[in-house]
Structure 1
Amino acid sequence: MSPRRRALLPAALLAVVTVASACASSTTGVSARQSRVSSGDTDVSFRTCGSSCTGTLDGAKYAIVLPARWNGTLLLYSHGYRFAQAGPPSFETPSTDAQVSSTDEDGTGQDALSKQLLAKGYALAGSAYKSNGWAVADGVAAAEALHDKFTKTVGTPNRTYVWGDSLGGLISEIVAERNASWVDGAAPMCGAVAGPNLNLDVALDVAFAIKTLVDPSLKLTGYTSADEANAQWRHTSAVLQKTAADTAGGGTAKVLYVGALVDAATKTATYDGADIESQVKATVESLLTALAYGTLGRYDIEQRVKGNPSDNSSTDYAARISAREKSLLETVGGKPDQYSATLAKAPRVSADAAARTAFEKLGDTTGKITVPTVTMHTEADPLVLVQNESVLAQRARQRGAADRLVQLYVAPPKTYSEQTGAPYGAGHCNFTDQQRVGLIQTVDNWVRNDVYPTPAGAAASLGTGVDGAFSPGPWPASVS
């Protein structure tokens, strides 16, 4: 069309042409991205990052490890919770190194899991965050900055999957919800995806019940130092273990009652729960694991949000004990009605409203899931209750996003020795390398090939342990 003819077009028609052109451009952009995401190219060009493969971004150490031949996929990893100071049960100095996968310790990608992923052509990247502790906001910021760094330094991925363990599972889900423009799939593992307040409320429930029934000296909130919190954990640990061993005096039943209140795991990586003795040991381990976050973890959180965010002022503990649990407790000489009455009369804890709001704002899931998301959780998790998955599923349903969420559960063998421990399925984030690699392959097959995951289908990649019949049940009752 000549310039003159174009000038004679009515203004309204020019507007229609302009809008149509803009729509076509938008459609082309979306199609271009989708074409890139679903690409089967296994030899995508990239720039080697050299000395820029490691460094610090906004105070957070990071690492990038590249395969010999890139399939175009970036796996952006977020690590799990690390105490801000040395804490229970090992009291080792917490790591401050970046991680590029679940079992990588120093950002080098020399562990067996990372090597498997690299051999399949994945590029790996991960951060250490700029702080330890409940560093959700730091973790989200670190992941976003690292993706930008990777794109500028190495190249634009055809697709990016975010994945992480424990607190990193929560971080990965938040990153996915907030960054639909570049996240193409998500794989949170053993994630605290019910968010901050629900999880710390349960830690308060554990501490409150132990204080009321087992150790009156236990401090519930307001620790003044990490040393005070650690000393408290050591003292209460000794008291709880002594109480659990007191079968004749009713101590064992009290400990099992506390476990029942919070659905504590009766199998752990060490104890298979095959008999009552093993169940008691597993319950003690689960409660002490939770108590670590109710002491040292709480100290860190209360410093961050300037007060106590947890609340049990309206909690009905008696309602948490089912008829089946009550019968079992009575079988071992327990008095569950009496324990519940004692809890009902004990002084409660009210949250500082500003602190509770501040804790929530550090980062929580919304259920606004826009990309294929596959979570994986051990059925017996002593730290991050498997019911975290129930909360995320409910939020996804409320957002109309249930079709973009698939949740896989890994069951442990029925029995295993204390010497060898559970190979998978019991314990926090206790998965095999095959299960982790299989999870990534499951997400990838959904994203690139539109193959909707089923437990049976996932089992082909993940191997033994996937339990398609398992349902985690509802979250333990708590205040809103």
Structure 2
Amino acid sequence: MTALLGCCTALAVTAGCGAPKDSDSAAPTGHAARAKHYTGELADGAKWVADVPQDFNGTLMLFSHGYGPLRARSAPDPKTRDAFLKRGYALIGSSYSGSSRWALNVAVKDQFDTLDAVRKRVAAVREPKRTLAWGESMGGLINSLVAQHGRGRVDGALSACGIVAGGLDFNEYQTDGDYAINQLLVSGGSGSSGSSEKQIKVSGFSSDAEAAASGKALAAAVQGAQSTAQGRARTALVAALSNQPNWFSGRQPPKAHDFEAREKQQAEGLVKMSLPFTLGARYQVEKAQGGPVYSNAGVNYAQLLRHSRDVPQVRALYKKAGLDLDKDLAKLTRNAHTEADPDAVRHMERTAVPSGHLAVPNLTLHTTDDPLNPAPQESEYARRVRSAGDGSMLRQTYVHATGHCTFKPANWLAVLHALEHRLDTGSWGAATEPQKLNEVAGEAGEGSYPSFLRYTAPELVGARGRDTRAH
């Protein structure tokens, strides 16, 4: 279910993306070394950290980290931390408490409690001029919930590479892809697995090891399918259902109508990153919710596919392979019988699904081609915010890049400048226009960065509640 990472490159799966990297815990250098470092503990056991520069500029920044070990962090990475401290921002964050790395049931409270604890403990930030929330990946979702409940506590929020459509939709489309692998590439498909092979477990796990084994097995099925035109066509269908982007590696994405190259990139993303990580994390998600939250009973997969921008690619590859797409979609619909644990679903709805209401301005940042938390998350979030009547409070920005949370300090500084402009003037104005963002990022003097561009995220495939039910 969960592409829930913090900051990682496209191939850094085994390093525990979203968890603090070795360099995060190394001795601080530069401006971080000259800042005062504080630590503390909340009543529920969550740890907090604070880095306060000598020349504090009055803005306190509350950071929500991504999926991984429950360890407090004040910034996404050391270079971004140093760039912010150099400019006088004070940085704080908590580890979150609880028994699961999917910490949504406690994270928002722990973040607000951290804010209170630091302000009581650290005199220099007791009365900040402004408090901003920021976070990435799972922390981007936490941060959007902070923005939802933050009136009087924070002034604005930056949510990067976030699971902003919420945990339920995120789980549904990821597991739809896993289900399609089982149905089409493991059971009677044209991959390396034979039709008599037992299907791979995709939910209801009893341990991290069991979940990780399923991720490895699903990835092997996709890898094996690449040896035939039929397998590649079915992989394209899997990728469409799971919102897998068609750029994973290389300096530039494949050409728009080079469907074979695009499918190859999708398969690479599924095998090397998406499947191993999302299945590996699913036990922690189900543990936090108290049971499986995935359901596809009654879902019409032909209707579901119609929401994908990749329909032309899927149809073209099916035609080239001599396969009947309608027949495969009918099979998926016919065999869709999985039911979720109702209590687990209700728990996730309460703790991990944004309502769309915003108490403070929220600016989001995403790569165009994120293999773990695809950009269509943003389109669903925007739809929800508009439906709640708070569309003017939200702006969404994108950088032309592949990878999950692969931002540079200059990207962070540019979106921070745009949010500050909104708070200073009461209007977004041109601050979120790509030209302005690139101008600010270039002037930051923090090295190279992926460029901002004008981009509209595709519709999120797999979101329930639309015309997705079988009739």
TM-score, normalised to structure 2's length? Answer: 0.79
In structure 2, how many angstroms separate the alpha carbons of the residues matched to 1:363 and 1:76? 19
Tell me how far 1:273 sits from its aligned partner. Answer: 4.0
> How do 1:92-111 residues align onto structure 2 when only pairs under 5 Å count?
95-103=69-77, 111=78
- In the aligned structure 2, how far is the partner of 1:269 from the partner of 1:436? 23
**Alignment partner for residue 141 of structure 2, among 150, 153, 170?**
170
Tell me if the contact between 1:64 and 1:124 (Cα under 8 Å) persists in the aligned partners. Answer: yes
Task: Tell me the equivalent position of 1:305.
Answer: 289
- SS of 1:232's partner is helix
Q: Which residue, out of 40, 49, 56, partners 2:41?
A: 56
Unaligned runs of at least 5 residues, structure 1: 1-47, 83-94, 104-110, 412-424
Q: Are 1:206 and 1:291, in contact at CA under 8 Å, matched by a contact in 2?
A: no
Query: In structure 2, what is the Cα distance between the partners aligned to 1:433 and 1:334?
Result: 48
Give the CA deviation at 1:271: 7.6
Task: Pick one of 73, 87, 90 that aligns with 1:123.
Answer: 90
Q: What residue identity is the alignment partner of 2:46?
A: A
Partners of 1:434 and 1:331 in 2: how far apart? 45
Residue type of the partner of 2:65?
H
CA distance in 1, matches of 2:299, 2:105: 29
Distance, in Å, in 2 between the alignment partners of 1:236 and 1:400 is: 41
Q: Determine if contact 1:207/1:220 at 8 Å carries over to the other structure.
A: yes
Q: What's the CA shift for 1:81?
A: 1.2
Q: 1:215 aligns with which of 186, 199, 206?
A: 186
Identity among equivalent positions (%) equals 30
Over 3 Å counting, the alpha-carbon distance change for 1:241 and 1:391 in structure 2 is same
Q: Distance in 1 between matches of 2:165 and 2:218?
A: 27
SS at match of 1:428: coil
RMSD: 2.3
Tell me, in whole angstroms, the C-alpha distance in 1 between the residues paired with 2:315 and 2:172.
27
Structure-to-structure mapping, 1:230-245, within 5 angstroms? 230-244=212-226
Offset, 1:129: 1.3
| Aligned twin of 2:432 | 454
Cα distance in 2, alignment partners of residues 385 and 311 from structure 1: 21
Q: Residues of 2 paired with 1:156 and 1:283: CA distance? A: 49
Partner of residue 458, structure 2? 473
Mean CA deviation greater in 117-126 or 436-445: 436-445
Structure 1 match to 2:52: 66
**Using a 3 Å threshold, how does the CA distance of structure 1 residues 180 and 459 change in structure 2: closer, same or farther?**
same
- Using the TM superposition, give the Cα deviation of residue 270 of structure 1 relative to its aligned residue in structure 2, in angstroms: 5.5
Per-residue CA deviation, residues 357-387 of structure 1 (Å, 9 max, x unaligned), is: 0121223211111222110111111111211
Aligned residue type for 1:147: L
CA offset at residue 474 of structure 1? 2.0
Measure the CA separation in 1 of the matches of 2:463 and 2:174: 11
Q: Deviations over 1:111-136 (max 9, x none)?
A: 22111111111001112212452111
Which structure 2 residue ranges, 5 or more long, are not aligned?
A: 1-33, 188-198, 443-449, 466-471
Within the candidate set 59, 63, 67, 1:81 is matched to 67
Equivalence for 2:247 = 267
**Amino acid paired to 1:76:** L
Shift of 1:332: 4.1
| 2:329 maps to 1:361 | no
CA distance in 2, matches of 1:479, 1:153: 45
Structure 1 pair 189/269, CA: closer, same or farther in 2 (3 Å)?
farther
Tell whether 2:373 aligns with 1:388.
Answer: no
Residue number among 89, 107, 118 corresponding to 1:150 in the alignment: 118
Conserved? CA contact 1:101–1:113, under 8 Å: yes
Aligned residues of 1:203 and 1:290 also touching (Cα < 8 A): no
Conservation of the 8 A alpha-carbon contact between 1:215 and 1:240: no
Tell me if structure 1 keeps the 8 A contact 2:245–2:371. Answer: yes
Structure 2 counterpart of 1:442? 418
Match of 2:228 among 244, 247, 251: 247
Query: Residues 72 and 157 of structure 1 are in contact (CA less than 8 Å); yes or no, is this contact kept in structure 2?
Result: yes
In structure 2, the residue matched to 1:295 is 279
Please tell me whether residue 337 in structure 1 is matched to residue 326 in structure 2: yes
Shift in Å, 1:190: 0.7
Letter in 2 for 1:255: T
TM-score (ref. length: structure 1): 0.77
- Checking the alignment, whether the CA contact within 8 Å between 1:259 and 1:283 is kept in structure 2 is yes
2:207 is matched with which residue: 225, 229, 241?
A: 225
Question: Counterparts of 2:206 and 2:153 in 1: how far apart (Å)?
Answer: 42
Distance 1:271 1:237 in 2: 24
State the secondary structure of the residue aligned to 1:183: coil
Cα distance in 1, alignment partners of residues 313 and 303 from structure 2: 11
| Larger-Rg structure | 1
Q: Specify whether residues 221 and 96 from structure 1 end up closer, same or farther in structure 2 by C-alpha distance, changes over 3 A only.
A: closer
| Aligned pairs, number | 397
**Distance (Å, rounded) in 2 between the aligned partners of 1:472 and 1:384:** 12
Where does residue 315 of structure 1 map in the other structure?
299
C-alpha distance after superposition, 1:255-300 (max 9, x if no partner): 1121122331111255854255653342124334443465332222
